[in-house]
């Protein structure tokens, strides 16, 4: 009986983890506009060192292990502008795709006509 229920339990565990992950990402604003993603990055940059130091203090107190967090790199880019430039270049490429394909197909057709 237990061997037949294990795949069902495993599915529910995986679905719960996946659903929880999607909810967490949505709740943190990572699926929203770019300014929400940038705000989530700033929150993470503030929260991670504090949390890491708290847990390393607990580890050092209980086990004698001391870990140090390396310094965080500083990025001088605006994520919103970078995201928008990527989207703009993609849309420019997609908008010129029909004429580019037409030009390449004409060139290929002329090449194949010249081969005969």
Percent of the chain as helix, strand, coil, to the nearest 5: 80, 0, 20
Domain count of the fold of the chain: 1
| Token pair for 46 | 């503030």
Does residue 108 lie within any of the structural domains? yes
Judge contact between 40 and 28, C-beta under 8 A: yes
Which comes out higher in pLDDT, residue 79 or 32? 32
Q: What is the pLDDT of residues 43-99, one digit of tens each?
A: 888 888 888 888 888 888 888 777 776 776 777 776 666 667 777 888 888 899 999
pLDDT at 101: 93
The answer to whether residue 7 sits within a structural domain is: no
Task: Extract the tokens encoding 72.
Answer: 């965080």
- Flag whether 86 is in a domain: yes
> Between 34-63 and 79-115, two packed helices, what is the crossing angle to 10 degrees?
110
Q: What is the pTM of this model?
A: 0.42
83 lies in a domain?
yes
Token couple for 86: 């990527």
Cα dihedral 12, 14, 17, 20 sign: negative
Q: What is the domain range of residue 106? A: 78-115
CA dihedral 13, 14, 18, 23 (to 10 degrees): -10
- Give the mean pLDDT of 33-40: 83
């Amino acid at each position: 009986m237990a061997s037949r229920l294990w795949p069902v339990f495993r599915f529910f565990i995986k679905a719960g983890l996946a659903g929880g992950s999607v909810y967490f990402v949505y709740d943190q604003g990572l699926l929203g506009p770019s300014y929400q993603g940038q705000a989530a990055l700033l929150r993470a940059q503030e929260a991670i060192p504090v949390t890491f130091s708290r847990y390393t203090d607990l580890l050092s107190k209980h086990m004698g292990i001391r870990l140090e967090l390396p310094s965080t790199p500083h990025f001088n880019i605006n994520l919103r502008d970078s995201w928008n430039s990527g989207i703009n270049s993609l849309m420019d490429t997609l908008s010129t795709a029909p004429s580019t394909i037409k030009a390449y197909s004409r060139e290929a057709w002329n090449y194949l006509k010249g081969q005969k």
